[in-house]
Amino acid sequence: MWLWFAKLGSPRWFYELSDKWLPWLYLSMLIMMSIGLFWALLIVPEDYQQGQTIRIMYIHVPVASISLACFPLMAVAGTITLVWKMKLADMVAQSVAPIGAWFTGLALATGAIWGDQIWGTWWAWDARLTSLLIQFFLFIGVIALRSAIDSTDAAAKACAVLAIVGAINVPIIKYSVDWWNTLHQPASNFSMDPVSPNPPEVWVPLLVMICAVYIFFAIALILRTRNEILQRERRSQWVIDLVAREKNV
């Protein structure tokens, strides 16, 4: 068990393993995404309240739900960095931050577009949108801190501390924002909750899309982590060999 753990920390091991994984991940993403998009765009029936704009949900909800997973993931990676000094964990943490910012940004943008239809305005200080916005700021803070510190080692630890502090704060922020807004205006009778009174033909494609976007998230994370591994290990022999093997780039 500990051998496995030690192996996991080795960037080279991860790099070579991900070589084998990536084709399968690409394939499954392609299949899931095609099914999901086809279903969402062509087959899902019109919603009696929202009409065709129900199709926005199939992008917004998967992206938003995965954006919520990024900060905890970064905090876990940060904890591993601080406790076991595992290099790979920090590379993952570094790669999650921009991806998390992208996911949160897209969730905000699609939420705003959807909001124009639901609330008749591009931006509302809706609890969910607001807490996403603050989470977006937190990601920007982590990225800014990382780029401000020159030493890789110090940056890794500093970002790990910030990620843990942020991850403790994210639920508090979310809770306080929910509480702040729900007292102001009664919760709108439109529920964004996808699995409430809706029939399976609405939520099954949503599930497919969530899986597809999750796989996409994994691919994006692995690709960035691989680049980070190459960059940081560029002086080790296996990377030099790898560069030599690589033809016509």
Partner 1 sequence: MFAFQFSSLSEFLQMGGVYTFHIWAVYLLFAVFIGYNLLQPKMVRRHFLREQKRRAARDEELASKTNTQK
Partner 2 sequence: MNNAREIQDIKGVSTWSAFCATLRRDLVIALKRRNDLLNPIMFFLIVVSLFPLGISPDPVELSRVSAGVVWVSALLASMLSLDNLYRADYEDGSLEQLLLSPQPLYFLVLAKNIAHWLISGLPVVILSPLLAYMLYLPSEAYWTMVLTLLIGTPVLSLFGSIGVALTVGLGSRGLILAVIVLPLATPVLIIGAKAVTDVMVGLPVGSHFALLGAILALALTMAPLASAAALRISVN
Nearer to partner 2, 1 or 183 (CB): 183
Using a 10 angstrom Cβ sphere, with 0-12 exposed, 13-18 middle and 19 or more buried, the burial of residue 106 is: middle
- 51 beta partners: 47
246 binds partner 1 (CB under 8 A): yes
Q: Which of 98, 102, 101, 95 is nearest to 78 (CA)?
A: 95
C-alpha dihedral over 228, 234, 235, 238, to 10 degrees?
A: 100
Residues 6+ apart with CB under 8 A from 194: 57, 61, 202, 203, 206
CB 70 within 8 A of CB 103: yes
User: What whole-number distance in Å separates Cα of residue 29 and Cα of residue 59?
Assistant: 15
- Please tell me whether residue 243 binds partner 1 under the rule CB under 8 A: yes
161 binds, among partner 2, partner 1, none (CB under 5 to 8 A by kind): partner 2
Rounded least distance, CB 186 to partner 2, Å? 15
- Does the protein bind partner 2 through residue 50 (CB under 8 A)? no
Q: Which tokens sit at 198?
A: 């809706």
Q: Which is nearer to partner 1, 145 or 219 (CB)?
A: 219
Work out whether 16 is an interface residue with partner 1 (CB under 8 A). Answer: no
Q: What angle do CA 208, 70, 138 make, to 5 degrees?
A: 140
**Six-digit token string for 140:** 């920007």
Residue in 6, 30, 31, 154 binding partner 2, rule: CB under 8 A: 154
Q: Which stretch binds partner 2 (CB under 8 A): 98-106, 114-122, 150-158, 194-202?
A: 150-158
Segment interacting with partner 1 (CB under 8 A) among 75-83, 137-145, 165-173, 220-228: 220-228
- Is residue 68 involved in binding partner 2 (CB under 8 A)? no
**What's the min distance (Å) between Cβ of 117 and partner 1?**
6
Q: Based on the shown chain and the rule CB under 8 A, indicate whether residue 242 belongs to the binding site for partner 2.
A: no
Tell me which long-range contacts 168-175 makes (C-beta under 8 A, separation of at least 24): 169/138, 170/71, 170/72, 170/135, 170/138, 173/131, 173/134, 173/135, 174/131
Residues 55-84 within binding reach of partner 1 (CB under 8 A): 55-56, 59-60, 63
Interface with partner 2 (CB under 8 A): 82, 134, 137-138, 140-141, 144-145, 148-149, 154, 157-158, 161-162, 164-166, 168-169, 172-173, 175-177, 179-180, 183
Interface with partner 1 (CB under 8 A): 41-46, 51-53, 55-56, 59-60, 63, 99, 102, 106, 109-110, 113-114, 116-117, 201, 216, 219-220, 223-224, 226-227, 230-231, 234, 239-240, 243-244, 246, 249
